[in-house]
Structure 1
């Protein structure tokens, strides 16, 4: 029993370590939208970045998992506070999982979740 538990724990740690690194080097910072929907295109980009870098802990539907539920995070934190958490980490969350303009877009997108 202990062996199964240890194996599961180590496997989870490995998966989380890889997920925290963001995986892949696909450039998601480019806005593929046109002028007709810049806000929507930006939101779509932020959602894709979140899905690639954050959903393994916070869930694809933002309801949480290892990380907290983010469905209404904008009612608790401002964009700047969310950006600070992304940059510096908090609790189990490592710092700089997302950086640069990607971090800014995700912080803005999450701040709108009220």
Structure 2
């Protein structure tokens, strides 16, 4: 039976997401108050979460060691950045925008 290997940082990643969820909740409450003074007191990042690395598997099979991670706990290489439009309407908007940019480049090009 192929059991999934357990991530030793799984609990730390869960706490990372909880920390940011609490931070977002406080920020949303402050926004709903119209950003009135005083600003909320955000909880400090727990010391054991400082330096948490991405941990995603690289092509070589080793864990990623980047420590600059997003709120989802992954780095810029493994964080699920946009892969482009997925709907036909989004693809059409992207195509039209590219045509507008290309027309602007052609208009300013020297013959």
User: TM-score, normalization: structure 1?
Assistant: 0.27
Larger helix proportion, structure 1 or 2?
Answer: 1
| Higher RCO (C-alpha under 8 Å, 6+ residues apart) | 1
User: TM-score, normalization: structure 2?
Assistant: 0.27
